[in-house]
Amino acid sequence: MQQVQVSVFDHSGFSEVHSFPTGMGLSLMEALKAAGYPIEAICGGLALCASCRLDWLEGSVSEPNDAELDMLDTLPDNQSCSRLACQIRLESLYDGRASIRLNPSKS
């Protein structure tokens, strides 16, 4: 089983690096929740709540789908780096690594 490395920054600038397994069909949201991050994921990963929103800082990844773009468009502080963690499969981290910032609206 392969792994991806994700550097996770919080709103205070603190960061941790995590290794998550690919090949299990996990989303980044599911992996982050399993690692103990307080992501609400109110809609359960259906791109309907934006509680899993993050800033994508670095790393090649799949483009957002229509459902993700539609949800992000409803956010007043949506930015070009905004993503929904529930819509990103770990397998879609093409470089095998990424940097993200959680809770961007709180920074």
Out of 5, 22, 48, 61, the residue judged to bind ligand FES by CB under 6 A: 48
Q: Residues 6 or more apart from 74 whose CB is under 8 A from it?
A: 50
**69: contact with ligand FES by CB under 6 A:** no
49: its two tokens: 């709540």
Find the shortest distance in angstroms from Cβ 5 to ligand FES. Answer: 22
Q: How far is CA 49 from the centre of its chain?
A: 14
67 contributes a contact to ligand FES by CB under 6 A? no
Q: If binding is defined by CB under 6 A, does position 103 make contact with ligand FES?
A: no
Largest Cα separation within the chain, whole Å, is 39
Q: Does 32 bind ligand FES (CB under 6 A)?
A: no
Name residues contacting ligand FES, limited to 77-96 (CB under 6 A).
84, 86
**C-alpha pair distances (Å), 15 with each of 6, 10, 12, 40, 81:** 10, 6, 9, 20, 18
Q: Quick check: 28 binds ligand FES (CB under 6 A)?
A: no
> Which residues of this chain interact with ligand FES, rule CB under 6 A?
29, 41-43, 45, 47-52, 71, 84, 86
